[in-house]
Structure 1
Amino acid sequence: MSVADDSPSRSRGRDETEEERADRMWGELIQEVRITQMGVQILFGFLLTVVFTSTYHALDDTDQTIYIVTVVLGATATGALIGPVALHRIVSGQRIKPQAVVWASRLTFVGLLLLLATMTCSLLLILRVATHNDYVPWLVGGVFAWYLLCWFVLPAWARRHHTGR
């Protein structure tokens, strides 16, 4: 392949086939998911234990509702973040890795959104129980904005600024 070659693999900045690119992207995605899975599973595990404490039964109805919503969000985040592993296992050898990478990437993105909601609700519940103060929504809103900035805004800015997409 010459330097002047304008093939699709050259325009991506790498000299790789579609399959090689899918293999590389799959490896990168699984590394990302592995880290996120651990965090969401630890958080979900802690959330599951709360209902078995005496403190849970002392919560008012609003806090119990926040807890239930948080547990459901944690369960769905866990499912979405484990989904790429199940997807890979089920479609492995079917010669659809490029498509599987796209599906797994979408599942991971949904998992991150659900993790964002789980962490925000967890923080809301903890701060409501710990402080009972009017500033709790402001604190939670500030942390939520920080998560958005770190997880979505900065990556979107970097993508747009450095790739033109």
Structure 2
Amino acid sequence: MRRRAASDAQPPPATSGPFGHSPAVRSAESRGETIDQVLDRNLNELLQELRVAFTGVQILFGFLLSLSFTQRFQELDDFGLTVYTVTLLTTALATVLLIAPVSFHRLVFRRRQKAALVLVGDRFLIIGLGLLAPAICGALLLILDVALGRWQAVLGSSLTALTGLLTWYALPLAVRRNGPGVAPED
């Protein structure tokens, strides 16, 4: 009879330790992983999501910062200036929140606090995306207002907001409500 190598051995049960029966423990148990493996996987997934989100917010922020130095910026009415200000602030806040996990990681690096990093990074990403949606809609409102007119700008921005709300929040929450591994019905 062949002996199992150490690499073939099953990971120890994940129910012990400070995590109790948390979602991380349930995930570890269902996938045959240790808590550390789940946290490593979750951190890698979080980093990939942050890379996608941060690229978009970085481009938008750069555009908004440069916009104030153009000649057309001086022509903005009170509505345009208000939209610009709110959009710039929401983009700046989204940028800060999407960068925050980097700083958090650096400050807790090698202190065995990966669980806290994943939890806090997840919250920062969710809030950052929540701010990025109105930032995108505000930038679109501003651009369409200048290019096409007010009602077209409101219509285009509203359709974009609705699409963002449905695809970023409503659909994922509907899938989450159906339970793990269950696809939504047609």
- Structure 1 residue 11 displacement after superposition: 4.0
AA partner of residue 67 (structure 1): Y
Aligned residues between the structures: 162
Pair 1:103 & 2:120 matched: yes
% identical equivalent positions? 38
Does 1:80 find its partner at 2:91?
Answer: no
Deviations 1:68-102 (A, max 9, x none): 11111111111111111111111111111112100
The match for 2:63 among 41, 46, 59 is: 46
1:120 is the counterpart of 2:137: yes
TM-score of the superposed pair, with normalisation by structure 1: 0.89
Matches within 5 A, 1:1-165: 11-12=26-27, 13-163=30-180
Contact 1:81-1:108 at 8 Å conserved across structures: yes
Q: Which deviates more, 134-143 or 52-61?
A: 134-143
* Partners of 1:82 and 1:155 in 2: CA distance: 24
User: Relative to 1, partners in 2 of residues 1:10 and 1:63: Cα closer, same or farther, differing over 3 Å?
Assistant: closer
Task: Give the greater-gyration-radius structure (CA).
Answer: 2
Which is helix-richer, 1 or 2? 1
For 2:50, the aligned partner's letter is: V
Task: Tell me, in whole angstroms, the C-alpha distance in 1 between the residues paired with 2:162 and 2:82.
Answer: 23
Give structure 1 stretches of 5+ with no counterpart. Answer: none
Query: Is the CA contact (8 Å cut-off) linking 1:63 and 1:125 kept in structure 2?
Result: yes
> What is the root-mean-square deviation of aligned Cα atoms in Å?
2.1
Matched residue type, 1:45: G
- Contact persistence 1:18–1:98 (CA under 8 A): no
- Name the CA distance, whole Å, in 2 between partners of 1:94 and 1:83: 18
Higher RCO structure, 1 or 2 (CA under 8 Å, sep 6+)? 1
Give the C-alpha shift of residue 157 in structure 1.
1.3
SS for the counterpart of 1:93 is: coil
CA contact (8 A) 1:73 1:117 kept: yes
TM-superposed deviation, 1:6: 9.8
Aligned equivalents of 2:78 and 2:129: distance in 1?
28
**2:42 is matched by which residue type in structure 1?**
M
CA change 1:58–1:147 in 2 (3 A) is same
What is the CA-CA distance between 1:136 and the residue it aligns to? Answer: 3.0
Query: What secondary structure is seen at the aligned counterpart in 1 of 2:151?
Result: coil
